[in-house]
């Protein structure tokens, strides 16, 4: 990669005090990005926290809300703040860094596991349901219908039970 890949681009990396954040900021700077004031060309939503290693049954709502504010609400605010300018200029990039814990779980992290109990995170594809068919709200109309998969229609929701032996 050349040192000018991001030459003159204004980039913001949240959570750049430790871990992945400072490494990302240093890499962007090495490739020509700057953090000077000006319209943002790139936002890396990297801020995140584990919160508590206590069992979920012992975590206070205050602690839980703090984790949600840092890990989720900050991403919403960041994107809501920078997207209008990026859309107006017709360019920009947003990268939202997330946790593998939501995919594979993490022992001892309350949001993903409880002692002796499996906690699953399900990530279905698009499924036509009454909720996805709702039109009439400004956001749904402006987004338009989702792109059709290559087969030409969306899968119908199905449910089943797997039995062993």
The residues that are catalytic are 112
Q: Where are the beta strands (DSSP E) in 9-161?
A: 11-13, 42-45, 93-96, 113-114, 117-118
Rounded-to-integer distance, Cα 116 and Cα 74, Å: 32
Rounded-to-integer distance, Cα 139 and Cα 49, Å: 30
Contact by Cβ (8 Å): 97, 23: no
Q: What are the Cα distances from residue 89, in Å, to 7, 49, 56, 58, 83?
A: 17, 32, 44, 48, 10
Note the residue count of the chain.
165
Rounded-to-integer distance, Cα 121 and Cα 2, Å: 39
């Amino acid at each position: 990669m050349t040192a000018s890949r991001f030459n003159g681009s204004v980039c913001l990396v949240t959570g750049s005090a430790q871990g992945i954040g400072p490494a990302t900021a240093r890499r962007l700077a090495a490739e020509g990005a700057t953090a000077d004031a000006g319209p943002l060309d790139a936002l890396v939503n990297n801020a995140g926290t584990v919160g508590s290693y206590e069992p979920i049954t012992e975590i206070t709502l205050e602690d839980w809300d703090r984790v949600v504010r840092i890990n989720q609400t900050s991403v919403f605010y960041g994107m809501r703040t920078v997207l209008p300018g990026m859309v107006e200029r017709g360019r920009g990039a947003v990268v939202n860094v997330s946790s593998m814990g939501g995919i594979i779980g993490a022992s001892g992290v309350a949001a993903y596991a409880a002692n002796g109990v499996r906690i699953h995170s399900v990530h279905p594809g698009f499924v036509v349901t009454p909720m996805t068919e709702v039109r009439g709200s400004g956001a749904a109309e402006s987004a338009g219908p989702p792109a059709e998969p290559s087969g030409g229609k969306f899968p119908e929701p199905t449910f089943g039970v797997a039995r062993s032996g």
